[in-house]
Amino acid sequence: MTSKESVEYPFNLNAKRKAVKVQGTALALLSFQALGIIYSDIGTSPLYVLNGLWPASGPAPVKEDVIGGISAIIWSLTLLPLLKYVIISLHFSTQEGEGGPFALFQGLFPPEDKDFDADRTLTGESLGGGVPHPPRGRHLKEKYRWPLLIWCLLGTALTMADGVFTPAVSVTGAIGGIAVPKPSFSTKITPVSCIILLALFSFQRYGTARIAFLFAPISIVWFLLIAGTGIYNITFFPGIFRAFDPSRAVLLFVRTKNYDLLAGIVLALTGCEAVFANVGQFNALSIQLSFATIVYPSLLLAYLGQGARLIDNGDAVIGNVFFNSIPGPNGGPLFWIVFVSAILAATVASQAMVTATFSLVQQVINTKCFPPIRMHYTSDTIQGQVYIPAVNWVLMVFTIIMVAAFKNLAHLSNAYGFAVATVMFSTSVLIAVQIFYVKHLPLVLALCYFFTFGFFDALFWGASLKKVPLGAWVPLVIGAVIMLIMTLWTWAKSLEDAFDGVNRRNLRHFIQQDKTSVTIQFPSETDDIVTEVGDDQSVVGYDPTFYYNTGFTKESDHGIDVENERKKLQRIPTCAVFHKIAQGKGVPHTFVGFIRQWPALPRVVIFLSVCIAPMARVPVKDRYVVSKVRTIEGFYGVTYYIGFRDDFNVQVNDLIEKICDIEKQVNPNGSSTIVEEIRSISQTATHIAPHYHVVSRKVDAGLITPIVNWIRQYLIEDIYRRLSTMFPETGNWLTSADEIIHVGINAVI
């Protein structure tokens, strides 16, 4: 056959997921949705910030202290959420549009491009092979890969821990407002908060877009209310505008020498990390527009108004600064309107870190830094909008436990502020490194960024560190546990993938066929693959004899020799689908193990790789790209393309039709018998899934070798092995368990 057919696909097979780009009405709509997801956390901070600075049980602060405190809040909001995150950090998201600490690490060490064409190459000569050398000029950065990864995983883990405390603090702070007109309700704050949190997490399954459309109007009403009450309250003391002078903030600390005030001010910044982490759920421009036009000015007016009321009538307001500064009498109509809005806004505020946690978990799963748990994509247009059931319910349980255990909002706020401050400092370090290595800007610019924002982050972190005995130890423990799990999984999974790559086999070196039984004509000595776009060749005969090489070892006088003994394989009329989990050329080690355990060769052998295309759904007719091995009959390499909202559901009948089309191209005159046979035996197919039984190898560590090997064995065999069994990479497959054979291989890593 001399002609070649081309197959047109509605997507680029090698395309990567890209950041969402919208404009006009679509941009306005996305900015509207962002209000309902991202900003309610930082937007509900006025509920508790001033009482975090000056406790309700203490005396009201003097006028200059209030002005200094409001000045510190205003400039903290300006320097960190606005300048650092909204203006600068959003430019450091990945090409896929993801944000957060782990996205910064991916910018420094981007994952290698996946070559799905190579995945279908089963007879290539370049198999396995060692670790690639880093390109010139990156040696310094590669040397610090693991320290930066651990630092990044700590930031990611603490952001996830923040997802526990944000709902707890926001909802509890809002519900506490009812105790202002009704003090007897204070004993019911905890159970009512738990009920609201239960409802919030139960609603997550409906997806980011639907939740955003429901929550965005609530957020807009909330921001208008706090801005309006702020404007009204400013009239009580217009001199509060002196807070825009940054020297007032400096003088506050010079005068009071109370460094601990920063631990209260940091509560005004809660949620700023969600701005960066949630960029994958929306896009940078929509976040910048919504923050600059609505969120930032509303927050400034709210804090200015609270400060004015605190100066005007401090003793009457200090008990609960937010609710006592609502215009009108306590228990009046406006009070209840604001109270209901506060509860709704606090519920929405919880959403910011919940969705941010989903985004971060999606990133670490996709980069094999976290066990592969099931993810549900909830949008047809934005791949970053996901719902992860296991994470959702774990967050819910821990959040309710935190509310019930702490009870005291002050202690809960201490824990909350420490997580926020630590994540902010982690982000500053990673962005400074990116400025020099990724953006290729002068080193002096990277240093200026680090010393400027790192200085402010370090101030907040130091103040929060003093709160560790008062509750801040909780997020530290949660974050440390999550970080250790991710570090262990990253390390052990990389060893397992390296084992898989080194042990891949060239199919022709393992399986051989008796050439006297078949005549094959090729246009070239080097071409081994016939793709579905056609190749000029023909096959005569169809029933060769197959053998496999055992590759056993024996000891001789010259040492250890490797000998190959050929054993005959019985060809059986069935279809087997071998799933390739790791990327790379050649056949996986599980196929070798399968043949050694069951020395029989299926008539149709399919090696299947999966590629998630950068689109919601892939048409059925375009899902399978097939390559035929020409030197060994009956073997096919397949890439299974699915959209990020498609279910993993391999339809063998559709795949067999693609294979039959190739057979017709290869041998147009004599393919009818072959096609009929393939269709007949493929009515039932067996899926063969790999499973590595990991075993720790012995390492030489000098005097401490026994200790190192014991620790290594415990981590790999007692922890990682159990985790990988609990969370297999095949866990998201929808194929019936009755059709799957799990082939176990000892992997010495």
For residues 714 and 716, give the distance between their C-alpha atoms in angstroms, rounded to a whole number.
Answer: 6
Q: Are residues 449 and 507 in the same domain?
A: no
Q: Are residues 441 and 567 in the same domain?
A: no
Q: Are residues 327 and 178 in the same domain?
A: yes
The per-residue pLDDT for range 298-324, each reduced to its tens digit, is: 999 999 999 999 999 888 899 889 988
Q: Are residues 300 and 326 in the same domain?
A: yes
How does residue 368 score in pLDDT terms, banded at 50, 70 and 90? confident
The per-residue pLDDT for range 567-597, each reduced to its tens digit, is: 888 888 889 888 887 777 888 887 888 888 8
Residue 247's pLDDT is 95
Host domain of residue 445? 30-49+62-127+138-496
The per-residue pLDDT for range 252-305, each reduced to its tens digit, is: 999 998 888 888 898 888 778 777 877 766 778 888 888 989 999 999 999 999
How does residue 521 score in pLDDT terms, banded at 50, 70 and 90? very low
For the chain, the domain total comes to: 2
Q: Are residues 606 and 462 in the same domain?
A: no
Q: Are residues 222 and 266 in the same domain?
A: yes
Of 147-161, 176-190, 302-316, the range with the lowest mean pLDDT is 176-190
The single-letter code of the amino acid at 466 is: K
Q: Are residues 206 and 228 in the same domain?
A: yes
CATH number of the domain where residue 410 is located: 1.20.1740.10
The per-residue pLDDT for range 628-665, each reduced to its tens digit, is: 887 788 889 898 888 777 777 788 888 888 888 888 88
How does residue 543 score in pLDDT terms, banded at 50, 70 and 90? low
Which of 496, 517, 534 terminates a domain? The answer is 496
Q: Are residues 562 and 705 in the same domain?
A: yes
Residue 1's pLDDT is 34
Alpha carbons within 13 A on the beta-carbon side of 519: 2
For residues 282 and 65, give the distance between their C-alpha atoms in angstroms, rounded to a whole number.
Answer: 39
Domain membership of residue 348 (yes or no) is yes
Q: Look up residue 505 and give its DSSP letter.
A: B
What is the mean predicted confidence (pLDDT) over 168-183? 74
Domain membership of residue 4 (yes or no) is no
What is the mean predicted confidence (pLDDT) over 221-225? 92
Residue 64's pLDDT is 93
Q: Are residues 195 and 264 in the same domain?
A: yes
Q: Are residues 492 and 568 in the same domain?
A: no
Residue 129's pLDDT is 39
Q: Are residues 274 and 414 in the same domain?
A: yes
Q: Are residues 387 and 509 in the same domain?
A: no
Residue 93's pLDDT is 75
Which of 477, 496, 515 terminates a domain? The answer is 496
Residue 731's pLDDT is 60
Pairing assessment for the beta strands 566-579 and 600-613 based on DSSP bridges:
parallel
Q: Which residue has the tokens 């560190």?
A: 465
Domain membership of residue 3 (yes or no) is no
Cβ count within 10 A of residue 160? 29
Domain membership of residue 427 (yes or no) is yes
Residue 10's pLDDT is 46
How confident is the prediction for the chain on average, in pLDDT?
79
The per-residue pLDDT for range 673-703, each reduced to its tens digit, is: 888 888 888 887 888 887 888 999 999 888 8
Domain membership of residue 375 (yes or no) is yes
Element (H, E) at 626: strand 624-629
Which of 496, 522, 542 terminates a domain? The answer is 496
Domain membership of residue 17 (yes or no) is no
Q: Is 577 exposed, middle or buried (0-12, 13-18, 19+ CB in 10 A)?
A: buried
How does residue 535 score in pLDDT terms, banded at 50, 70 and 90? very low
Of 12-21, 240-249, 351-360, the range with the lowest mean pLDDT is 12-21
With CA atoms as reference, report the closest residue to 307 among 360, 240, 389.
240
What is the mean predicted confidence (pLDDT) over 202-210? 70
With CA atoms as reference, report the closest residue to 628 among 662, 671, 660, 594.
662
How does residue 94 score in pLDDT terms, banded at 50, 70 and 90? low
Domain membership of residue 259 (yes or no) is yes
Domain membership of residue 18 (yes or no) is no
